[in-house]
Structure 1
Amino acid sequence: MEKVTSLEEIRNTAEQSGFFNYFSESILSYAQLHRFEANEFILYEGQNPDYLYFVAEGQAKAYITHSNGKVSLVNFLYAPCFIGEMELLNAKQKTVGIQAMVTLTCIALPMEQIRKTLLDDPVFLRGLCIYLSKKADNNSRIYTHNMAYPLENRLAKFIQITAHSGIYSEKHTEASEYLGVTYRHLLYVIADFVKKGILQKTIYGYRIINIEALNGLASEN
């Protein structure tokens, strides 16, 4: 993780990312920029965050481990968004693990220093309430989406989201859990994509060789 303390760079990032839709100008004096590389963890599961992160650029994914040892992919995070907002409110006892999917640029605010200021700020609280409402609505949409469309369409969209440099390499166990299907069903549809010339198996995962066909399936959901 790279830390940037240049006020000019922090301000430019804030202005370009919508940071001031949630925060007052004065809060910027506490801020740093944190940059995470792809696959780097922003938070490990169960870790108490030291910072409230405003994700200015990039994409990440959230994991949780169940009591039986099973790991589930919970959600995807897209800029602009928050990491640590529930912990700011003292509303979550156990944090999920969050891992960058691409280079992730965050405006980092030290949690303990800014907690009281933000929780006394009606503008921030109003913006946070709207954000959490939209987040809950999106989670509901994901659930109903998984119930309404065939796996081939949902998998195509999932591959679109998670592939990097034309390679899809997500773990089958996590993908099947997220998509709400059995491991066997997922493998069957992936094999069908290979048979149809949409994917090609490699030592790194699956290469997308027919992006038009994949996009066509993804757009049908």
Structure 2
Amino acid sequence: MKIVPVKDMQFLGLPSIYSLFSFDISPYLSMVEFEPDDYIFKNGELPDCLYCLVKGTAILSLYHSNGRKLARFMESPCFIGETELLKAQELTNEVKAQTLCLCYKISLASCMDTILSDPVFLRNLCLYMSKNALYDLTSYARTQAYPVVNRLAQFILLMARNGLYKEKHTEVSDYLGTSYRHLLYVFADLCKRGILSKEPQGYRIADPARLKALADVVS
């Protein structure tokens, strides 16, 4: 984790966070940068801050008693740590940076009571969490309604950088609600059809138009 000087924040072209509050949040605010694979939160921590991810993608991991891990990809802008702030759960789930991530960090030690009694912030947080719940419901509906190949095509277009896709199969199979074995079969089929090509670093998008046509099936 790297702290970005406050004086540099205005030059980054990032979404403003100040309008989410009715009071001046700046005394409690800093900007932090996470490299890919850095922990934003480790599993089972007591958090002392609230993050607002404003650039990049992170991965939330949920661990079950049977050893299975479920992954959820978090795109900016989003909050990280809001359920712990509201005491819906005490301890954090694991969150790691998937790409370079920039986050506003709100230190809660001196402002938690003020934040939790701020009607403007609470309204914005309720709106955010409601949209998040609708997104999860829509994602579940897509899992039931569309084949893996179409949802994978959409996911590849979302996560690829400069035409190269290199996500971990174990996390993606959980995210798409399919088996690891079936995911490998779908990748092999896309390569056979000339839509993707396998490289040492991952998969290269060989035919963007055909991949997009597959993704566009998912409404």
Normalization by structure 1: what TM-score?
A: 0.90
Matching of residue 9 in structure 1 with residue 8 in structure 2? yes
The residue that corresponds to 1:178 in the other structure is: 175
Between structures 1 and 2, the one with greater helix share: 1
Q: CA deviation at 1:26?
A: 1.2
Q: CA deviation at 1:16?
A: 4.2
Q: Contact conserved, 1:48 with 1:95, CA < 8 A, in 2?
A: yes
Q: Contact conserved, 1:52 with 1:84, CA < 8 A, in 2?
A: yes
Matching of residue 187 in structure 1 with residue 184 in structure 2? yes
The amino acid across from 2:161 in the alignment is H
Matching of residue 125 in structure 1 with residue 122 in structure 2? yes
Aligned to 2:190, what secondary structure does the other structure show? helix
Provide the C-alpha distance between the structure 2 equivalents of 1:114 and 1:11, rounded to a whole number of angstroms: 23
Q: CA deviation at 1:11?
A: 5.1
Could you say what the CA RMSD is over the residues aligned between the two structures, in angstroms?
1.8
Q: Contact conserved, 2:18 with 2:24, CA < 8 A, in 1?
A: no
Q: What do residues 151-208 of structure 1 show as CA deviations (whole Å, max 9, x unaligned)?
A: 1100101212222333222222222221112222211111110001111122222222
The amino acid across from 1:164 in the alignment is R
Identity of aligned residues (%): 42
Structure 2: stretches of 5+ with no match in the other structure: none
Aligned to 2:24, what secondary structure does the other structure show? helix
Structure 1: stretches of 5+ with no match in the other structure: none
The amino acid across from 2:150 in the alignment is N
Q: CA deviation at 1:57?
A: 1.7
Matching of residue 211 in structure 1 with residue 208 in structure 2? yes
Normalization by structure 2: what TM-score?
A: 0.91
From 103, 113, 124, the counterpart of 1:106: 103
Provide the C-alpha distance between the structure 1 equivalents of 2:126 and 2:117, rounded to a whole number of angstroms: 14
The residue that corresponds to 2:150 in the other structure is: 153
Residues paired across the two proteins, number:
218
The residue that corresponds to 2:57 in the other structure is: 59
The residue that corresponds to 1:24 in the other structure is: 22
From 52, 66, 69, the counterpart of 2:67: 69
Provide the C-alpha distance between the structure 2 equivalents of 1:198 and 1:21, rounded to a whole number of angstroms: 44
Q: Contact conserved, 1:72 with 1:177, CA < 8 A, in 2?
A: yes
